[in-house]
Structure 1
């Protein structure tokens, strides 16, 4: 088998069982993309400050009703009380959508008793409401406001807390545009003895101006060269073709462990699902 063939097989494996994101307002987009997604696809539902509990619950119920796996987000600092967290989890449980959640600290100052994701994990409220698997964030290129040593302590602390509570864990990374720092970070994760599955954040197809804006806001280190990499036209749309192929070329399961992909749908859920389907079809075509 040639190196190109091996990379192609690794790329196919990475694209198997990918996950993606939606907001509470994207139910129609999900419905439009239904035929493009495999049954059971994990769909993360973001916890936006502009969306209320009922909107998030309707989205989670719609994901489940259409045959996919809902992964509701919990933003620790946006919660005003333990009661609000318990109410949210209880409603998810009644909707059959509490098995999988993603817990993040969130951007604002704390609105209540939860300072970070770890405080939600240690609240004791997840397990009795049916949560079985918890996703936590990883930052291959660092965080604009948190030093790297703190990020490592935070990641290991969250994973240790989940393990002690008998909860399965996975890490979903911030998106990036260069595969090298992502793979180097994953290798370091494994060297530190962390064996949790990792989903690499991938920016779905979107306008360059939007990608640059999100990258700058979230502190993605490679954002400065984004326009040069894809071209000077900020009105153009870019897909993650090169990123995925570079990732597959240098990804080695024996070194990097279990890795899958998580698509951030900046350009729309249906557009992202269509792009993935077209990319997979094109990648499967034989070359002459």
Structure 2
């Protein structure tokens, strides 16, 4: 951080069975103090709208929700701004329900929702399986059944439009930013974002 002037960090524990090193969670990293006085202005922690089988093998949200409550409490004592960054999602309704549930349980950290950039359907299915985004696969599966769309790039138009409409109707809604996963290529993703409302491909909105 000192050598490169890094001001933001994304703290993830990863999905390994055995920790590689002294820390086994992002909470331990936060407790270490390494990010407290080092000049970090923004800390991102993980959010899981569809749960995480590595953290909750039973398919519940028990541990992931407890972790976010801990991180919410930590943010109250940190000088850095904190936000929740999520895996990419494809369906707005479950994301809206998840964000509202967090708010109802006192978790008010702003949410930066993950969005899969334009890509071939086969590419998105491959990455969804590899990244554990199983619940969202139903959206891609419905798309795959439409032979007229099978060879066309899948774009996040509907997902983002639904979220934007909900945000307009509910200004206090917890999602404040989106961040793109450029699974179909950075240039393709950047051009799509510019053509669909963005004026430039800035790191704040497209990481």
TM-score by length of 2: 0.83
Deviation, 1:167, is: 2.5
> Who is 1:137 aligned against?
46
Q: Kindly indicate whether the alpha-carbon contact (under 8 Å) linking 1:206 and 1:267 is maintained by their aligned counterparts in 2.
A: yes
* Match of residue 29 from structure 1: none
* 2:15 maps to 1:107: yes
Q: Which residue does the alignment assign to 1:200?
A: 113
1:122 correspondence with 2:17: no
Per the TM alignment, residue 249 of structure 1 is displaced from its structure 2 partner at its CA by: 2.3
Distance 2:171 2:151 in 1: 40
Q: Deviations over 1:86-136 (max 9, x none)?
A: xxxxxx322111x11110111223110110111111111112322122001
Aligned partner of 2:142 in structure 1 is 228
Structure 1 or 2, whichever has the larger Rg, is 1
2:81 matches 1:168 = yes
Partner of 2:64: 151
Pairs aligned (count): 189
Preserved contact between residue 116 and residue 156 of structure 2 (Cα < 8 Å): yes
Does the 8 Å CA contact 2:120/2:153 hold for their aligned counterparts? yes
Where does residue 193 of structure 2 map in the other structure? 276
RMSD: 1.9
Structure number having the greater helix percentage: 1
Q: Give the deviation of 1:237 after TM superposition.
A: 1.6
Following superposition, the deviation at residue 235 of structure 1 comes to 4.7
Q: Confirm whether residue 264 of structure 1 aligns to residue 181 of structure 2.
A: yes
Q: Is the 8 A contact 2:91 2:139 kept in 1?
A: no
Higher relative contact order (CA 8 A, sep 6+): 1
- Tell whether the 8 Å contact from 1:136 to 1:169 is kept in structure 2 after alignment: yes
SS at match of 1:95: coil
Question: What does the per-residue CA deviation read over 1:200-222, in whole Å, with 9 as the maximum and x for residues that have no partner?
Answer: 11110111111111112222212
Task: Give distance in 2, aligned partners of 1:226 and 1:157.
Answer: 34
Gaps of 5+ in 1: 1-91, 282-288
CA deviation vs aligned residue, 1:251-274 (integer Å, no higher than 9, x gap): 344451452111111112221110
**Aligned mates of 1:238, 1:168 — CA distance in 2:** 34
Matched, 1:238 2:154: yes
- Structure 2: state its 5+ residue gaps: 199-207
